Structure 1
């Protein structure tokens, strides 16, 4: 039998596509190739544990690929540029929804509020820190970081709603220009 870690990408896609409430055990079973008994063996607390594990996996990816590089960068401007590259790759240039955003807006928001809050707060703080180290005032850095994260999230939603990934790409280009001009 496959381990939990191997199942997380498939679980994430089910939650992305159907939301937490719509992610039935039948859909999860189909996506993972495991029966309900095997799923409960791996995730004794059921769907809530599956979603928590998926959110933790996403958090780990963002920590390794965005937050830590932004916090540790000797060249903050290069780290911010790399952040934009990583975001475009992760969200498949606007073709993949933000599961943390889906959870933040769904009925399960309160159940996962800590993980959702932490995801966004750490992203904003890491970006604001990099912007400050690149010579901006701390308050302006924080405001710009909030703007960038908000616009990325909005661009993901708009690109998906319009079924036009180019909306996301244009927004990312505009944000890169905005950040460069603010320096």
Structure 2
């Protein structure tokens, strides 16, 4: 009996787990194929462009996730700003970063400077979408556009920093503390 075909979303999430841990340069096709539960030939069939196409797919998935789960919620003015903030922080903490267990794919793929040209625009696009959404939220809290943008950047910096410190210390507490402190940032 043939094994069940992995759904595209599950496939990308599994491939992202390798890229998050190893980065672009550190990820081998064997590791990616193992994560995808495919042999290398099947992996190439799904991603003829190899590792670059896999990383592009991971970044596209991330952009879509940020747009659907951060941007769309934070710009919904029919929901109170505090409620939007708490909901998005819960989703970011629990779903995107697994309470600090998962490193950010944007960070992992931006660490390889030699590939800035390959991924720079997609990374910037995801981060800009994130910042734009938090800027709208900040303005809904009564901040000027400039203040809201500065605070939006700080949200991104604090979350990324919390992930790095949690990873470095081997403790989820720093990331969890950042998420909690951001609830009172506005």
When normalised by structure 2's length, the TM-score is 0.90
CA deviation profile, 1:29-48 (whole Å, cap 9, x unmatched): 11112111111111111110
Instruction: Give 1:130 deviation, angstroms.
Output: 1.4
CA distance in 1, matches of 2:10, 2:147: 41
CA distance in 1, matches of 2:99, 2:6: 30
Determine whether 1:26 maps to 2:30. Answer: yes
Q: What SS does structure 1 have at the residue aligned with 2:117? A: coil
Give the alignment partner of residue 127 of structure 1, picking from 128, 134, 152. Answer: 134
When normalised by structure 1's length, the TM-score is 0.91
Determine whether 1:16 maps to 2:40. Answer: no
Q: How many residues align?
A: 179
Q: How does 1:13-162 map to 2 (within 5 A)?
A: 13-74=17-78, 75-89=80-94, 90-107=96-113, 108-162=115-169
Contact 1:4 1:42 (C-alpha < 8 Å) held by counterparts: no
Contact 1:20 1:106 (C-alpha < 8 Å) held by counterparts: yes
Instruction: Give 1:22 deviation, angstroms.
Output: 1.3
Instruction: Give 1:69 deviation, angstroms.
Output: 0.8
CA deviation profile, 1:38-63 (whole Å, cap 9, x unmatched): 11111111110011111111111111
CA distance in 2, matches of 1:146, 1:159: 20
User: How big is the alpha-carbon RMSD for the aligned residues of Structure 1 and Structure 2?
Assistant: 1.5
CA distance in 2, matches of 1:25, 1:104: 19
Instruction: Give 1:2 deviation, angstroms.
Output: 4.0
Partner of 2:174: 167
Q: What SS does structure 1 have at the residue aligned with 2:116? A: coil
Contact 2:66 2:129 (C-alpha < 8 Å) held by counterparts: no
Q: What SS does structure 2 have at the residue aligned with 1:72? A: coil
Partner of 1:178: 185
